[in-house]
């Protein structure tokens, strides 16, 4: 890989890369992502679960370029000593505690308050699950919890079904962003309903939309970004990859590629061909 | 008088009412980056020393683990 890069730098396109590529790079850098008064240069948010080791998690976090990571709140075991998991996180990371494992608004609210007390952060990924098999969100309970937590000053980022009307209600409740799923948590199925995400983007042009859950491969992330998502949150796709750190790099590139694709505006789809080379003037 | 509490879902007996701080010491639980709930209400760290745990109380002591 490194050799190939060098060859390009000193090859026939040297001038292009020397003079134009830096401009493009700057353009890319200026496309930051703001949320609740904080600016991120990465549009990838990643999880901390399921890694085979803390070392692997750290390497993956570094490779992903992510600036925000999710963590879960859990009972301290009474029967054994535990390592401080948070020590393995880059201190520069914005920590986003979640309410995973909560099946109603009350549990999610209690978990949120505990997370805020322990971490001294108002940031919260609100997750109220509707059933154990699918882990699909309970939108009704999520909305109820969001209303209470927003009033308590939390920065509530709700995970919910990819539904426009629910997105509107969550935004009206004061959530600074909405986090529709692409597919069930940990399924790796990719964007199951691209039309829903596209409709949400078009109908809520000013909303911050973070696609959360269901990404399996880099192309899934690129598709979600091409549809206009502002950012993507993923965990399993990186943690369960054979080479997590390399997949983290792939996801970083896919999110960037998808974002640039969205900003560039795609060509129209046509049922029939449209010649790229002039048809007139070909030899006969 | 013996006091029975439920801590993280487990029944435990204490010789008497003790403070939340003493409870952490007794069970050798960490005091950094944890949060404590007593009967569904968060007890701020600044109040741990003065808050007593009584018979029948339900206590949750949480920390952070990997998650998505």
**pLDDT at position B21:** 95
**Taking an 8 Å Cβ-Cβ cutoff, which residues of chain A contact chain B?**
47-51, 57, 70-78, 81-82, 84-86, 97-98, 100, 110-111, 113-115, 117-119, 185-186, 213, 233-236
Three-class secondary structure of residue A5 per DSSP: helix
Name every residue whose Cβ is closer than 8 Å to that of residue A282 and which is 6 or more positions away in sequence.
Answer: none
| C-alpha count within 13 angstroms, C-beta hemisphere, residue A279 | 3
| Pick from A220, A153, A170, A171: nearest CA to A193 | A220
Identify which has the larger pLDDT, A221 or A79. A221
Identify which has the larger pLDDT, A154 or A12. A154
Name every residue whose Cβ is closer than 8 Å to that of residue A206 and which is 6 or more positions away in sequence.
Answer: none
pLDDT, mean of residues A180-202: 97
pLDDT digits over A218-230, tens only? 999 999 999 999 9
DSSP letter for each residue of A235-272: SHHHHTSSSHHHHHHHHHHHHHHHHHHHHH-PPPP-SS
Radius of gyration (Cα) for chain A, nearest Å? 21
pLDDT, mean of residues B19-23: 95
- pLDDT surpasses 50 at A9: no
- pLDDT surpasses 70 at A4: no
Q: Indicate which CATH number applies to the domain containing B38.
A: 3.10.20.30
Name every residue whose Cβ is closer than 8 Å to that of residue A35 and which is 6 or more positions away in sequence.
Answer: A155, A157, A176, A177, A208, A231
Chain B: closest CA distance from residue A129 (Å): 13
> Is residue B67 domain-resident?
no
Give the confidence band of A79 by pLDDT, cuts at 50, 70, 90: confident
Q: What is the number of structural domains in chain B?
A: 1
> Is residue B68 domain-resident?
no
C-beta atoms of B62 and A236 within 8 A: no
Q: What percent of chain B has pLDDT over 90?
A: 93
Catalytic residue chosen out of the listed positions A50, A81, A125, A284: A125
Rounded-to-integer distance, Cα B15 and Cα A278, Å: 92
The residue range of the domain holding B57 is 3-62
pLDDT digits over A112-135, tens only? 999 999 999 999 999 999 999 999
> Is residue B10 domain-resident?
yes
Nearest CA in chain B to A54: B66
- pLDDT surpasses 60 at A19: no
Residues β-bridged to residue B43: B36
Query: Taking the model in full, what pTM does it have?
Result: 0.87
| Residue B56, Ramachandran bin (φ over 0: left; ψ between -120 and 50: alpha; else beta) | left
pLDDT, mean of residues A29-48: 92
Rounded-to-integer distance, Cα A70 and Cα B68, Å: 6
Identify which has the larger pLDDT, A13 or A40. A40
Record the tokens describing residue A156, joined without a space. Answer: 């509530």
φ, ψ of residue A71 to 5 degrees: the values are -135, 160
pLDDT, mean of residues A62-89: 92
Question: B51 to each of A37, A116, B36, B44, how far by Cα in Å?
Answer: 36, 20, 11, 10
Three-class secondary structure of residue A170 per DSSP: helix
The CATH number fitting domain A39-76+87-264, selected from 3.40.50.1360, 3.20.20.70, 3.30.565.10, 1.20.140.10? 3.20.20.70
Place of tokens 């502002």: A230
Question: A174 to each of A90, A150, A156, A160, A193, how far by Cα in Å?
Answer: 30, 6, 8, 15, 26
> Is residue B24 domain-resident?
yes
């Amino acid at each position: 890989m490194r050799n190939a890069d060098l060859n390009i730098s000193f090859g026939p396109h040297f001038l292009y890369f020397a003079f134009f590529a830096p401009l493009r790079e700057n353009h890319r850098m200026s496309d930051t992502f703001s949320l609740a008064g904080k600016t991120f240069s990465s549009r990838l948010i990643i999880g901390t679960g399921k890694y085979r080791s803390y070392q692997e998690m750290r390497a993956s976090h570094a490779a992903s370029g992510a600036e925000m990571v999710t963590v879960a709140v859990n009972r301290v075991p009474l029967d054994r000593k535990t390592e401080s998991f948070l020590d393995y996180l880059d201190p520069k990371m914005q920590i986003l505690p979640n309410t995973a494992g909560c099946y109603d608004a009350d549990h999610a609210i209690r978990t949120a308050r505990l997370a805020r007390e322990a971490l001294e952060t108002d940031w919260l990924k609100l997750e109220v699950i509707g059933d154990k098999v699918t882990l699909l969100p309970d939108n009704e309970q999520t909305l109820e919890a969001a209303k209470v937590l927003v009033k308590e000053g939390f920065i509530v980022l709700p995970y919910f079904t990819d539904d426009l009307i629910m997105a509107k209600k969550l935004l009206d409740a004061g959530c600074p962003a909405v986090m529709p799923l692409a597919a069930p948590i940990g399924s790796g199925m990719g964007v199951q309903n691209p039309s829903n995400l596209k409709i949400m983007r078009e109908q809520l042009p000013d909303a911050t939309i973070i696609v959360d859950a269901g990404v399996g491969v880099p192309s899934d992330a690129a598709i979600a970004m091409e549809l206009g998502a502002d950012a993507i949150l993923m965990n399993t796709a990186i943690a369960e990859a054979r080479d997590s750190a390399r997949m983290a790099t792939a996801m970083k590139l896919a999110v960037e590629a998808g974002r640039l694709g969205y900003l560039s505006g795609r060509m129209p789809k046509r049922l029939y061909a449209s010649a790229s080379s002039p048809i007139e003037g070909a030899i006969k | 008088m013996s006091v029975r509490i439920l801590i993280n879902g487990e029944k435990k007996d204490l010789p008497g009412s003790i403070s939340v701080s003493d409870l952490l010491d007794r069970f050798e639980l960490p005091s950094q980056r944890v949060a404590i709930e007593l009967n569904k209400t968060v007890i701020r760290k600044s109040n741990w020393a003065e808050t007593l745990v009584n018979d029948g109380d339900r206590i949750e002591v949480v920390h952070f683990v990997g998650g998505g």
